[in-house]
Amino acid sequence: MATVQDVAKKAGVAPITVSRVVNNSGYVSKETRERVEAAVTELGYVPNTLARSLRSKRTHTLALVLSDITNPFFTLLARGVEDAASDAGFTVVFCNTDESEKEERRYLELLLQKKVDGILLVPARLAADSVSFIQSQGTPVVVLDRRLSEPLTDVVRCDSETGAYQLMRLLLQLGHRRIAILSGPPHVSTAIDRVAGCQRAMADFGAADLAVDVYYGSFTHASGGQMARRAVATEPRPSALFAANNFIAIGALRALHDLGVKVPEEMALVGFDDLPPSLITFPFLTVAAQPAYEMGEKGTRLLLERLSGKNGDPPREVVLPVELIVRQSSGNGPGKAG
Amino acid sequence: MATVQDVAKKAGVAPITVSRVVNNSGYVSKETRERVEAAVTELGYVPNTLARSLRSKRTHTLALVLSDITNPFFTLLARGVEDAASDAGFTVVFCNTDESEKEERRYLELLLQKKVDGILLVPARLAADSVSFIQSQGTPVVVLDRRLSEPLTDVVRCDSETGAYQLMRLLLQLGHRRIAILSGPPHVSTAIDRVAGCQRAMADFGAADLAVDVYYGSFTHASGGQMARRAVATEPRPSALFAANNFIAIGALRALHDLGVKVPEEMALVGFDDLPPSLITFPFLTVAAQPAYEMGEKGTRLLLERLSGKNGDPPREVVLPVELIVRQSSGNGPGKAG
DNA sequence: CTGTTAGCGCGTTCAG
DNA sequence: CTGAACGCGCTAACAG
């Protein structure tokens, strides 16, 4: 592993001159440049970014901390982050927390020690502790997908509340009166906001005989299945289910199928998050679709902006719209054919 | 950002003592330890891994270079990598090459400059250039999912050949005589091996009137759709399609649906890679399923072993078995009901 | 246009 | 049990 020193010696110049050639910084005469470049290729010199970072205080590395990259929503978000980061010459470290506060903290400590230039965080909790911890080390952070209890930093998220409102309005206007909401963890903003959106729709379009149960679980297909089973077992049985994310919807759909409950004829189902066309041959679920890729991209761009000076600015909140996509699973109303 | 110096001053000791406390190395009296620890928490000291790495030559960072994390096969593989790395206190950088040799090279240069401790590579080409480039910098590398033309390093992959053999045997035994193989890029080992597996099955179980076309495209649903359309347009029309990966299968299924060709009644379809149960409610495709998560995990463990001394050993090749899962899409044979 | 000096923050080496 | 000195590889800051 050749170093600047070696190259300098070989080219008969000072180390700093090599540095200047390699980084295209400062003035170097054409001749010396050529001499240095020759030495570089001859020795197979590869600059050591570690040492560079120690001096320059920039690692050109971002971190993406999310719950589970296995969820296609987050996969797409991650791809958006990586593409935007890569364009700017940044590299991305990814960390799965599985919504665990403890894991999140562990990772953040690790990342701060590594001196990543910035962190993109999908926080496991509404509470802003993690963000203020990151900020206490002077590291910029952008929150993705979720709200914080306090506006400590830039946030890029989707309008969960409106999305849920639209889905619930659809169900109510179709005539559903008994509905079960299968939500996520009660401490995650998206779960909270989606329930809130449902409730606003209920206030606007609900009838007197409306009966809505809210179940809190986790954003997994196992949990979706369990909540669906509990909902189906209640008397009188609901005629529609609202799933707070894609995994919950799929778990619920599977459970309904196993129970022999036909969707949408016997039970309507709507959910959050769409699956990309590369994954799903026959789209069936009525959903509020979120622009996951754009979220990752936009968040990364905001973070990079912060890194390149624009810091003093107050925290921004970018709320991207969700798109209501009506398909078969929402049906034509209770008791009617799908 | 407090440094060892600051902590040392505050605790009235030498910097090295702080280092010893933080790293639990060497002897430190209980008293001094407590004094140092107090200073650490008071100043919110976070060790700078960069400086540490510069001396120790270990970054505790791995890189995962793959084609597209958006493919659930690779997503799962990535999760396996991350889990195994995280257990060992390592962090993972991920890079999408989209099968582009140029992008791959660009990333590898970046990663080597960053002095990652090891690289997990899903190579875009059969040729071993990338691997030898990595090795020329003294960085250990493990190849995932694909073969190399030369056994330069550890490889963890699945038995594509046998998987394809089993799928093709199934089609032949069901009585199919006209089959189209929708393959991936001809320079990628998995695409090559799957075609080879098909051909071996054809040699073993083929009849005289067998007619098999091989199409080469890319591992995307768009390409799968295109190849399926071309295959359907040939005269006489094939009665079965073999898709070399999940995206190709989904694209083909979609195209067949759009063309009004019923699967499996009018056209059987088999493919590689299964989708996880969290994504798919009603499994339909007959597939050769690969243990993606285990592949990532195993590859990471091999890499970590190499990092912790066990280097001299000759390159190993771990070939994991694929599982044939027969579902509806393969049907009951040409001309028969599904 | 090029070089000197110094130091980023830490940990190894060797002394006490 | 504790500390001083030095250097990992690179680049700011300041000369010349």
pLDDT in tens, B231-243: 999 999 999 999 9
Q: Which among B94, B137, B253 has the least Cβ separation from residue A46?
A: B137
Provide the pLDDT for residue A187. Answer: 94
Measured in angstroms, the CA of A227 and the nearest CA of chain B are apart by: 15
Which of the four pLDDT bands, split at 50, 70 and 90, describes residue A193?
Answer: very high
H helix or E strand, kind and range, residue A189? helix A189-205
For domain A160-290+324-330, give the fold. Answer: Rossmann fold (3.40.50)
Which of the four pLDDT bands, split at 50, 70 and 90, describes residue A261?
Answer: very high
A218 touches chain B (CB under 8 A): no
**Does the pLDDT at position A337 exceed 70?**
no
Touching A: B residues 258-297, CB under 8 Å: 275-282
pTM: 0.95
A27: nearest nucleotide, CA–C1' criterion: C1
B22 burial level (CB within 10 Å; 0-12, 13-18, 19+): middle
Q: Per-residue pLDDT tens for B131-173?
A: 999 999 999 999 999 999 999 999 999 999 999 999 999 999 9
The integer distance in angstroms from the CA atom of A9 to the C1' atom of C1 is 19
CATH says B4-47 is which class?
A: mainly alpha
B235 burial level (CB within 10 Å; 0-12, 13-18, 19+): exposed
A97 touches chain B (CB under 8 A): no
Provide the pLDDT for residue B312. Answer: 74
What mean pLDDT is predicted for residues B2-15?
87
**Within 7 A of a protein CB, which nucleotides of strand D?**
1-5, 7-13
What mean pLDDT is predicted for residues B254-280?
95
Which of the four pLDDT bands, split at 50, 70 and 90, describes residue B2?
Answer: confident
What mean pLDDT is predicted for residues A251-277?
96
Q: Per-residue pLDDT tens for A100-154?
A: 999 999 999 999 999 999 999 999 999 999 999 999 988 999 999 999 999 999 9
Provide the pLDDT for residue A128. Answer: 92
Measured in angstroms, the CA of B225 and the nearest CA of chain A are apart by: 11
Percent of chain B's residues with pLDDT above 90: 78
Residue from B70, B98, B115, B139 whose CB has the most chain A CBs within 10 Å, to mutate: B70
H helix or E strand, kind and range, residue B96? strand B91-96
Domain segments of chain B: what residues?
4-47, 59-159+291-321, 160-290+324-330
CB A99 within 8 A of CB A245: no
Q: Which residues of A touch B49 (CB under 8 A)?
A: 113-115
Average model confidence (pLDDT) for chain B?
94
Domains A59-159+291-321 and A160-290+324-330 share a fold: yes
**Does the pLDDT at position A72 exceed 80?**
yes
Answer yes or no: do B61 and A281 touch at CB < 8 A. no
Contacts of B305 (CB under 8 A, 6+ apart): none
Choose the CATH number for B59-159+291-321 among 2.130.10.10, 1.50.10.20, 3.40.50.720, 3.40.50.2300: 3.40.50.2300
A26: nearest nucleotide, CA–C1' criterion: C1
Find tokens 């933080």 and name the residue: B22
Q: What is the CA radius of gyration of chain B?
A: 26
Answer yes or no: do A54 and B59 touch at CB < 8 A. no
What mean pLDDT is predicted for residues A278-299?
95
